Structure 1
Amino acid sequence: MIKPSKPLSYTVLGLGYAFLYLPIVLLVIYSFNESKLVTIWSGFSTKWYAALLEDDELLSSAWLSLKIAVLTASSSVVIGTVAGYVLARFGRFRLFPLFAGMISAPLVMPEVIIGISILLLFVNLENFVGWPQGRGLTTIWIGHTVLCVSYVAIIVQSRVRELSLPLEEAAMGLGATPFKTFFVITLPLIAQALVSGWLLSFTLSLDDLITSAFLSGPGSTTLPMVIFSRVRLGLNPEMNALATVFITLVTVGVVAANQLMRAQERRRAEEMRMAFAQD
């Protein structure tokens, strides 16, 4: 078996990282460009960040997208955790193939079809029961949750299947109810999967354009919709500034979540070590 040389491995790794992150670095650099032409560097300036603070349309759409993303990520984690746990622990019940297929369908179904289907559902509901009255934050939130639940369920399902059953059985053998066992034993052990699912759902919701276009109404324009409409008229330096702000916030959030999970993992390992030492 021929092993690749270290210089070749480092070169391939460097090219891969450059392909992924060099566009982001250039975007951050050009957010400080003095020129209105985003492809021509004419000097360092922070005026586009000041202009961003005066762009009410961009700021309001960004705030709406953030609210929808947080709501979507939270609801997707709750529903997806239940679905993933059922898939991993409840075995093959009578309607298991149908249930598993419904969970996996949004992963393979074109988003245009999902958006049209949910739009038709809301239109018929409004005609028959009067809800929802128009389309806005709530309808976009529901549509994004439908898309993101599948991702969370798959992540949770794979993590739950890796867990050691004797831990849960020991807890129930000591008198804990299944409900308490889930929250005291299982949930902390799959916390990393939940955080990963939350971050993935947040990103997918924040980035979604197609479903939002179907389910939005007057006064509920999301950030991707605003950016898409402006890009057709030319690139705007303010969008570079806004993207830099989002990159900074997301980076800080991911690093903080990673540090928190590592601290919890170390604390849990230390508690288990002390428990075994006492025995």
Structure 2
Amino acid sequence: MDRLNKTLMAVWTAAGFAYLLLPLIFVVWMSFFSNEIPYLPPQGYTLDWYAAAFTRGRFAESFMFSLYVALIATALGLAVSVPATIALRHARSRLAGSIVQLLTAPLIVPTIVIGAGIYVTLVMFEIATSWPVVGSLWALGLAHVLMTIPWCVRLLLANLASVDGSIEEAAASLGASPLATLFKVTLPLIWSGVVAAGLFSFVVSFGNIELSLFLVAPGSTTLPIAILQYLEWKLDPTVAAVSVAQIALIAAGLLIADRYVKLTRVV
């Protein structure tokens, strides 16, 4: 009976993974179709759609815009999260746990709700001050920072949990100043976590679409939005090729991040 239950569980697990991966497999397969209008079975296979994807100005510009926003969000997110998590680790206050919950709170709120709230706030701020903030690059970047901070905090806290605090205490007892201990002991010990947090933050920002839909300015689109807009008017393997390139970039970032900090510890 136990063997039958294990077999059934394995079958259901395999079926679940197959159900989740089937759309991804189909998108990858479709990106190699030679016919412009996708249908089964395809006439043949080609790599021309990948060349077309990178030569189209819309996708190339949106890719660079997404890259720029993701780099800004990653840098600012790390600048906030690294000192915050180190301070929280050494905090003796009862508020430390509440602060951690506050920093990770965006994870429990749907991204589209956050995007709508930020947009309404920016509109009200612009009406009150006459500052052109709606659709600005820095507003979009700061909004993406809001999404990167929770993941940075979780990854860094998971990494700091494995650091032996006696090493820092030993450095301090030998005369090292707090700054020297931070830069010569603590940061080198958690450097793998910092790298993983940066890579994961980049992935979260680069692939975000819900938040960006509310905050991008006319004429400036991120890559996920460019894909969505392209699908409104045309469906050919070009968009599949762009999607595969985006999936490959995100998957590479996640695999590298998992190399430094096991993502199963934080997700």
Question: One fold, TM greater than 0.5?
Answer: yes
The CA RMSD measured in Å over matched residues stands at 3.1
* TM-aligned CA deviation for residue 174 of structure 1: 1.5
Match of 1:273 in 2: none
> Measured at CA, do residues 73 and 38 of structure 1 come closer, stay the same or move farther in structure 2, by a change above 3 Å?
farther
Match of 1:118 in 2: 118
Q: Distance in 1 between matches of 2:203 and 2:165?
A: 32
| 1: CA distance, partners of 2:74 / 2:4 | 41
- Pair 1:213 & 2:216 matched: no
TM-score (norm. length: structure 2): 0.81
Q: Which amino acid aligns with 2:77?
A: S
Which structure 2 segments of 5+ residues have no match?
Answer: 262-267
Question: Counterparts in 2 of 1:91-106, with a 5 A limit?
Answer: 91-92=92-93, 95-96=95-96, 99-106=99-106
Please identify, of 14-23 and 119-128, the stretch whose mean Cα deviation from structure 2 is larger. Answer: 14-23
* TM-score (normalizing by structure 1): 0.78
AA matched with 2:203? T
The residue number in structure 1 matching 2:138 is 138
Structure 1 pair 256/21, CA: closer, same or farther in 2 (3 Å)? Answer: same
Amino acid at match of 1:218: P
* Structure 2 residue aligned with 1:175: 175
Kept in 2, the 8 Å contact 1:230–1:236? The answer is no
Count of residues in correspondence between the two structures: 259
Name 1:166's counterpart in structure 2. 166
TM-superposed CA distance for 1:190, in Å, is 1.7
Distance apart, 1:142 and its partner CA? 0.7
DSSP 3-state at the match of 2:161: helix
Task: Name structure 1 gaps, 5 residues minimum.
Answer: 263-279
How far, CA to CA, are the matches of 2:145 and 2:233 in structure 1? 31
Residue 177 of structure 1, CA deviation:
1.4
Name the amino acid aligned to 1:238. T
Q: For 1:22 and 1:192, how far apart are their aligned partners in 2? A: 33
Residue in 2 that maps onto 1:230: 230
Match runs of 1:1-279 below 5 Å: 18-19=18-19, 21-40=21-40, 41-92=42-93, 95-96=95-96, 99-129=99-129, 131-233=131-233, 235-251=235-251
What is the CA distance between 1:97 and its match in structure 2? Answer: 5.8
Percent of pairs with identical residues: 28
Shift of 1:195: 2.3
Q: Structure 2 CA distance, aligned partners of 1:4 and 1:86?
A: 51
Match of 1:269 in 2: none
